[in-house]
């Protein structure tokens, strides 16, 4: 027989508690009672309840305080609030504190039954997602990291070891080598996989907004702060925060990040007090941080704090044996999504893909295959499906001195522009923010041109 789900009814009105107990028992639940929030906390710590029905207005410890205490104590029961004085503000406030739903008194058995059935369905879906995620981790512990090279195999073994610890990891490598994939593998292979994984590109957010994004702010902290905002560190509590392009952080923000790593607490912008956070920080950069330290652009103490375990990812051109494997993977991945299955590369196509230098690394290869699927015919990925640069094997070695065969000024200007972008990316080790500065264009304009010239 299916085990009866346990429900705790919390209300200072004895008659209501008794009525709910009778009602819920008829619906097949096992029911216990508590007269206030304090009694409910004692019971919740001692036993496991699937659901808690809790009144808002009670003596000793009211419903809101009980919700906050549940969060602090790590009690995972689904909490549904009740009140005879309910307002929209009360409902929203309870949801923010972690309540699943809110019902107003008086209510009938159908209302209670409907809310509980919805909550049960949510729990079933959460359990199913958790099982599926664990099955994916079991079958492919390193997620979408596809490789047969020995260097990547070493990285895979290291990731599995590091995933069980909170040790800071710094992932190094050119743009497009898969730094975020490694960060996700560190999270989902380890003890934190049930917690959130939050990723942020430090170079993609204006410096004036980045502090608020990372640490949050309180209402009135600055002109546009019309309400409290939760920062990314709080969102990642219990899980992992991935800080991509960590080298783009300003020196003042580097100081604040160092304090968070040392004290394990954050302070929202404009707040008077700090709050503890339990976050594993994984960072990444395409730049040489040691050189940045020597140049005075990156704090040495933060560098040592982040660089406890460095993982250096090879460029795709340095593990060219992985190209055929990745081609098959991306053909299957995007073919299934696009409804174009069974596509195979011709021998000439595969030869061109292996010969190309891939300045945009795995990301550029994936974009190339996705584009090819759109153009392919009769289930074959031919040479004509590839960008011209890949067909010609230009890659990273193209220079601004290359002169196109055509005498068209328009085409010549485009070739020069493309070559300058490639050179800027080379000089900045693939860092797009710095490359945009060298090219004297905006970051958004560079992203558009990278797409236009199929540079990944």
- Quick one: pLDDT at residue 409? 64
Q: φ, ψ for residue 291 (rounded to 5)?
A: -65, -35
Q: What is the CATH number of the domain that holds 184?
A: 3.40.50.300
Q: Could you report the per-residue pLDDT of 234-257, keeping only the tens digit for each?
A: 999 999 999 999 999 999 999 999
- Quick one: pLDDT at residue 77? 87
If asked whether residues 35 and 52 sit together in one domain, one would say yes
- Quick one: pLDDT at residue 397? 42
Number of structural domains found in the chain: 3
DSSP string, 389-426: HHHHT-GGG--TT---SS--HHHHHHHHHHHHHHHHHH
If asked whether residues 327 and 306 sit together in one domain, one would say no
Q: Which of 312, 343, 375 delimits the end of a domain?
A: 312
Residue 138 domain-assigned (yes or no): no
- Cβ–Cβ < 8 Å for 21, 9: yes
Helix (H) or strand (E) run with residue 8 in it: strand 6-10
Residue 205 domain-assigned (yes or no): yes
The whole-angstrom distance between residue 70's C-alpha and the CA centroid of its chain comes to 26
Question: Could you report how far apart the first and last alpha carbons of the chain are, in Å?
Answer: 56
- Quick one: pLDDT at residue 402? 46
Q: Could you report the per-residue pLDDT of 382-430, keeping only the tens digit for each?
A: 998 998 888 887 544 444 344 455 556 666 677 778 878 887 876 776 7
Q: Could you report the per-residue pLDDT of 59-107, keeping only the tens digit for each?
A: 888 888 888 888 777 788 889 988 877 666 777 778 877 888 888 888 8
For the packed helices 443-452 and 432-439, what is the interaxial angle rounded to 10 degrees? 100
If asked whether residues 308 and 334 sit together in one domain, one would say no
pLDDT band for position 127 (cuts 50, 70, 90): confident
Residue 435, pLDDT above cutoff 90 = no
Q: Which of 83, 103, 130 delimits the end of a domain?
A: 130
C-beta contacts of 376-380 below 8 A and 24+ residues apart: 376/340, 376/343, 379/342, 379/343, 379/344, 380/343, 380/344, 380/345, 380/346
Report the pLDDT averaged over residues 13-40.
90
What does the alpha-carbon distance between residue 436 and residue 446 come to, in Å, rounded to a whole number?
6
Residue 136, pLDDT above cutoff 70 = no
Q: Which residue, chain included where needed, has tokens 């660089």?
A: 307
Q: Could you report the per-residue pLDDT of 331-372, keeping only the tens digit for each?
A: 999 998 888 888 999 888 988 998 898 999 999 999 999 999
If asked whether residues 103 and 60 sit together in one domain, one would say yes
Q: Could you report the per-residue pLDDT of 260-298, keeping only the tens digit for each?
A: 999 999 988 888 888 889 999 999 999 999 999 999 999
Q: What is the CATH number of the domain that holds 114?
A: 3.40.50.2300
Q: What is the CATH number of the domain that holds 341?
A: 1.10.8.60
Residue 42 domain-assigned (yes or no): yes
Pairing status of strand 30-34 against strand 78-83: unpaired
Residue 259, pLDDT above cutoff 90 = yes
If asked whether residues 191 and 211 sit together in one domain, one would say yes
If asked whether residues 232 and 338 sit together in one domain, one would say no
If asked whether residues 336 and 443 sit together in one domain, one would say yes
- Quick one: pLDDT at residue 89? 73
Residue 236 domain-assigned (yes or no): yes
- Quick one: pLDDT at residue 396? 41
Whole-prediction pTM:
0.60
If asked whether residues 125 and 25 sit together in one domain, one would say yes
If asked whether residues 299 and 165 sit together in one domain, one would say yes
pLDDT band for position 447 (cuts 50, 70, 90): confident
Residue 136 domain-assigned (yes or no): no
If asked whether residues 202 and 255 sit together in one domain, one would say yes
If asked whether residues 324 and 269 sit together in one domain, one would say no
pLDDT band for position 227 (cuts 50, 70, 90): confident
- Quick one: pLDDT at residue 368? 94
If asked whether residues 306 and 377 sit together in one domain, one would say no
Residue 426 domain-assigned (yes or no): yes
Residue 43: give the domain boundaries.
6-130
Q: Could you report the per-residue pLDDT of 1-14, keeping only the tens digit for each?
A: 457 789 999 998 88
Residue 148 domain-assigned (yes or no): yes
Cis bond upstream, residue 106 (ω within 30) = yes
Residue 59 domain-assigned (yes or no): yes
Q: Could you report the per-residue pLDDT of 154-213, keeping only the tens digit for each?
A: 898 898 889 888 889 999 999 999 999 999 999 988 888 888 999 999 988 888 788 889
Residue 142, pLDDT above cutoff 70 = no
**Token pair for 241:** 């925060």
SS3 32: strand
Q: Which of 312, 346, 370 delimits the end of a domain?
A: 312
Query: What is the widest separation between alpha-carbon atoms in the chain?
Result: 91
């Amino acid at each position: 027989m299916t085990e009866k789900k346990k429900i705790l009814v919390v209300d200072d009105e004895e008659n209501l508690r008794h009525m709910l107990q009778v009602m819920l028992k008829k619906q097949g639940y096992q029911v216990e009672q508590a007269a206030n929030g304090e009694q409910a906390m004692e019971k919740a710590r001692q036993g496991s309840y699937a659901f808690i029905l809790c009144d808002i207005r009670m003596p000793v410890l009211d419903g809101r305080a009980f919700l906050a205490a549940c969060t602090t104590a790590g009690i995972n029961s689904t909490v549904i609030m009740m009140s005879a004085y309910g307002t929209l503000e009360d409902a929203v406030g309870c949801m923010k504190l972690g309540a699943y739903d809110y019902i107003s008194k008086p209510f009938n058995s159908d209302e209670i039954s409907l809310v509980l059935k919805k909550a049960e369905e949510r729990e079933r879906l959460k359990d199913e997602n958790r099982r599926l995620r664990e099955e994916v981790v079991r079958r492919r512990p390193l997620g979408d990291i596809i490789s047969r090279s020995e260097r990547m195999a070493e990285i895979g073994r290291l990731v599995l070891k590091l995933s069980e610890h909170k040790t800071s990891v710094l992932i190094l490598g050119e743009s497009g080598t898969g730094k975020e994939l490694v960060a996700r593998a560190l999270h989902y292979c380890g003890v934190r996989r049930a917690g959130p994984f939050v990723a942020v590109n430090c170079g993609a957010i204006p410096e004036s907004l980045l502090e608020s994004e990372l640490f949050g702010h309180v209402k009135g902290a600055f002109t546009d702060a019309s309400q409290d905002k939760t920062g990314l560190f709080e969102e990642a509590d219990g899980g992992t925060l991935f800080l991509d392009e960590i080298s783009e952080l300003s020196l003042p923000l580097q100081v604040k990040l160092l304090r968070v790593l040392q004290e394990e607490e954050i302070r929202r912008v404009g707040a008077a007090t700090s709050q503890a956070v339990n976050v594993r920080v994984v960072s990444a950069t395409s730049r040489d941080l040691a050189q940045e330290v020597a140049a005075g652009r990156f704090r040495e103490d933060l560098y040592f704090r982040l660089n406890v375990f460095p993982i250096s990812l090879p460029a795709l051109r340095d593990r060219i044996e992985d190209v055929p494997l990745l081609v098959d993977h991306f053909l299957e991945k995007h073919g299934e999504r696009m409804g174009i299955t069974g596509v195979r590369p011709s021998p000439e196509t595969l030869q061109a893909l292996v010969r190309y230098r891939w300045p945009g690394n795995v990301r550029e290869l994936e974009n190339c295959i996705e584009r090819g699927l759109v153009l392919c015919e009769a289930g074959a990925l031919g040479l004509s499906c590839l960008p011209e640069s890949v067909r010609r094997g230009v890659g990273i070695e193209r220079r601004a001195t290359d002169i196109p065969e055509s005498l068209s000024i328009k085409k010549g200007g485009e070739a020069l522009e493309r070559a300058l972008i490639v050179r800027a990316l080379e000089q900045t080790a693939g860092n797009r923010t710095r490359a945009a500065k060298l090219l004297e264009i905006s970051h958004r304009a560079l992203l558009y041109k990278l797409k236009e010239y199929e540079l990944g």
